[in-house]
Amino acid sequence: MRIIIETTPNTEFVSFDYQQKLVGTIHKWIGAHNVHHGSVSLYSFSWLQNGKMQGKGLTFPNGAKLFISFYDEDVIRDIVRSIMENPDMFCGMTVCDVSIVPDPDLANKELFYLASPVFIHHKEGDGRYKHYTYGDEHSSELMTETLRTKMRVAGLPEDEGLSVEFDMSYRGRRIKLMTYKGIKNKASMCPVVIKGTPQSKQFAWNVGIGNSTGIGFGAIY
């Protein structure tokens, strides 16, 4: 299930690296329900939309818009109550409207666009983590396996036909270097093609694609 959040305009400067502040706000609302923090996150959320560049940051003169998607519908309803009780975000923005969007029928949909970059990392044989982007041949395999792992955690049946890959026909694809808590991460801005059962695609629509969806990567629509 997905909720759409609209905010009041910002009253303070919003720097480009606002991601950590947004993550803190989301985790505040999730609260005790964030049982998968640090491991497998069965939710995703978009970055702020409707912003305009201003100097070295952003402004939201008409307010910002974002969405949060969660596999567990009961938890998303609890989060809505938490938002209503504590609507303050950051940089003077406050939630002014929340609407619930039910899971769509995705039976005939395979192409999904990004609401935040897809981050893929994998522990190599030497113990170090390598970051993968749309240009790496193993990216599809890693995205698919991550989604399969999340489905197992959620108790969903195996989908033998499941696959996730970047849409390499998209001409606007690019790599974004994002710094989070002092760590630089290479992420991809490129639509993804998801093939599988309608249930699998709805699950991906909620939990996101790739790694670190719990800190704002891999949200799709």
What is the reported pLDDT for 35?
Answer: 56
Average pLDDT over residues 82-109: 97
- Alpha-carbon gap, residue 193 to 168, rounded angstroms: 10
What is the reported pLDDT for 36?
Answer: 46
pLDDT per position as a tens digit, 20-44: 999 999 999 998 656 544 468 999 9
The verdict on pTM exceeding 0.75 is: yes
Beta bridge partners of 120: 132
Exposure on the CB side of residue 217, measured as CA atoms within 13 A: 24
What is the reported pLDDT for 34?
Answer: 60
Instruction: Give me 115's structure tokens.
Output: 């609401």
Residue 11 three-state SS: coil
What is the reported pLDDT for 8?
Answer: 98
- Is the model's pLDDT at 185 over the cut of 80? yes
pLDDT band at 182 (very low <50, low <70, confident <90, very high): confident
Domains of the chain in sequence order? 2-101 (3.30.70.1890), 111-196 (3.30.70.1900)
DSSP string covering 170-199 = -TT-EEEEEEETTEEEEEEE--EEEES-HH
Do residues 115 and 121 lie in contact, with contact meaning Cβ atoms separated by under 8 Å? Answer: no
Residues 6+ apart with CB under 8 A from 211: 119, 120, 121, 146, 217, 218
- Is the model's pLDDT at 146 over the cut of 60? yes
pLDDT per position as a tens digit, 40-89: 899 999 999 999 999 989 999 999 999 999 999 988 999 999 999 999 99
- Alpha-carbon gap, residue 217 to 45, rounded angstroms: 8
Average pLDDT over residues 3-32: 94
